[in-house]
Structure 1
Amino acid sequence: MTGAVIAFAYLFLGIILQKVPNFPAPKAANWVQAYLINIVLPALALLYIPEIKPTWGLLIPISAAWFTFLISWLIFGLLGKKFNWGRNVTGCLIIVAGLANTSFLGFPVIEALYGKEGLPIALLIDQGGSFLLVSSLSILVGSIYGNHSESLRKVPLKILKFPPFGFLAGTLIMSLLGIKTPEILLPLLQLIGKTMPPMALLVIGLRFSPDVQSITSRFFWYGLSYRLILAPILVWALYSQFMDTNSLEFKVTVMESGMAPMITGSIIAIQFGLQPKLATLLSGLGMPISAITLAIWYLLLG
């Protein structure tokens, strides 16, 4: 709880700094964003991914995160093309609405509702689902939709040059081979990892500028409606066919699918120039709005 309070303090700090005369808010946001992309995400990959022991039993809850991201890509990709939304809007919705905030928001919510027994399941969904996605497919989407002038032939090179993806690939190999991150590095990696929530919210705060036009934008509500309502409905409908609907695993999987948009996903979208304002609002306003929908999902799940 203390960590959440500190993180939200950084959100308000970013909003306040925007109002300080002559403070270079855009430049400061870019600096913090570069720190998150080039240092924090690689550190988190080294810290968590080698600890995952690949087994078939893990695939069911983990697959929910991949399922909802791919459905987001399918839905917004088709709608964006049909209604000519523009590649930046389409790419932003695919990434930000496709990724749930399964850790910063998800962990405390799951612990509060289901106790510590629910945390291992939430951890698997986050590390094997959301974190792998934000370091892989979200970069692919950003590369495809973020720069109109680039040939698709250059997309693989752009992905390989993106620091989080290189560390993700390396740590996945470590996980498959059973190689652990050297213990001497763990304290430093943990320290860097703890800066993710406050620094990510600082970036959101530095860019946060809601107005009536933005909040009433149909794209804002399309993104939130998918993330908070449609995604958990789809997971509930599909996974109830082969999971016990009264089990803790099923309830946590559905609840994690209904979390607000992932802050790191919005950072990736901003990095690729995919509608930064829309990305910021989806993750920033998505958290308080999700309190209502999560309460409803909790009651529906029993």
Structure 2
Amino acid sequence: MTNLLELYVKLGGLVLVGFILGRKLPVTVPTRLGQFLFWVGVPISIVSFLRQSSLSGQIWIAPAIAYLAILLGAFLAWLGIKAQAYFRKTVPQQSTQASLILAATLGNTGYLGFPITLAILGKEYFAWALFYDLLGSFPGTYGLGVLLAARFGGDVQNHWQTARAILINPALWSFGFGLLVQKATIPTVVEFCLEKLAWISVALSLVLIGMRLGLLKSWRSLPQAGMSLGIKMLLVPLILGSILPLFGLTGSTAKVILLQMAMPPAFGTLVIAETFNLDRDLAVTALAAGVIVLLVTLPIWLWLF
């Protein structure tokens, strides 16, 4: 409990700083900070933490479970939409259906999942979270997520831009580079600087989350968002977390996977919603409410598992 409270103080403090700054600074600041983290901060963090992580033989199962979680979330969201249509005799608009499914499937395993994993389990198990995100959540977001959005949103003009964004993503390139140099010997001063820059980037990512939350103002879609959050942050982690031992995952490795599955909806859902003209209000509400819900669900998962 002491460690959890310390985690909340650190994470919550940085997010709160970002929340305050987001309301005081120009709206261009979060954009610039996000660009810096995307092109510089996150790639450096990946290389640094990957050098300090343990790559076991089972680690490749992490992205497979990520895809399983995405598909299960999408299926449960589809069932929820059908149940709503049956009992309430109303069918949400297609744009709303797409946002509901996206919020129930795509998790914030990068900007939020990485810091929480590092804080709770340390750098030794960071590679599990990294594989889950870069080989699972990220392709799921900009692959399956975009296909779903194009299907429901009717906008098919951005497929090449999306494919290009995936190919030039510096996080994926730094992931490959980090694997190549994981065991390489580098000067101590370079290793030291890499680690300090990595932790600074982790802190800045939490500040960025606070900044973006400070700009979110819509809560009118909370009832609809509640269904997606219930699926994403409760049902999927409970169902898949219970069967992780069947995949040979126990102890800290299982906890890493569980934490990634239990993360709130990704900021990528809002990006996709804006790009494909989906239900933006629902995406915004799910993002904001999900971060708040995490404060309650995180200790529950750590206690149950």
TM-score, normalised via structure 1 length: 0.70
| Superposition pairs of residues 183-262 of structure 1, within 5 angstroms | 186=194, 191=200, 194-210=203-219, 213-215=220-222, 217=223, 219-243=224-248, 245=250, 247-262=251-266
Shift of 1:232: 1.0
| Superposition pairs of residues 130-141 of structure 1, within 5 angstroms | 130-133=133-136, 135-141=138-144
How many residues were matched structurally? 277
Shift of 1:5: 0.6
SS of residue matched to 1:162: helix
Q: 1:6 to 1:292 in 2, by over 3 A?
A: closer
Q: 1:209 to 1:188 in 2, by over 3 A?
A: same
SS of residue matched to 1:241: helix
Shift of 1:230: 0.9
Q: Deviations over 1:52-73 (max 9, x none)?
A: 7866321244543332123223
Tell me, which stretches of 5 or more residues in structure 2 are unaligned? 1-8, 86-90
Instruction: Give the Cα–Cα distance (whole angstroms) in 1 for the partners of residues 255 and 202 of structure 2.
Output: 28
TM-score, normalised via structure 2 length: 0.69
Tell me, which stretches of 5 or more residues in structure 1 are unaligned? 18-22
Shift of 1:220: 0.7
1:36–1:200 CA contact under 8 A, matched in 2: no
| Equivalent residue, structure 2, for 1:42 | 39
| Superposition pairs of residues 64-83 of structure 1, within 5 angstroms | 64-76=65-77
| Equivalent residue, structure 1, for 2:297 | 293
SS of residue matched to 1:286: helix
Instruction: Give the Cα–Cα distance (whole angstroms) in 2 for the partners of residues 104 and 166 of structure 1.
Output: 15
| Equivalent residue, structure 2, for 1:59 | 60
Instruction: Give the Cα–Cα distance (whole angstroms) in 2 for the partners of residues 109 and 197 of structure 1.
Output: 10
2:245 partner amino acid: S
2:129–2:256 CA contact under 8 A, matched in 1: no
1:283 paired to 2:287: yes
2:46–2:174 CA contact under 8 A, matched in 1: yes
Shift of 1:235: 1.6
Q: 1:227 to 1:176 in 2, by over 3 A?
A: same
Instruction: Give the Cα–Cα distance (whole angstroms) in 1 for the partners of residues 107 and 17 of structure 2.
Output: 22
Shift of 1:138: 1.0
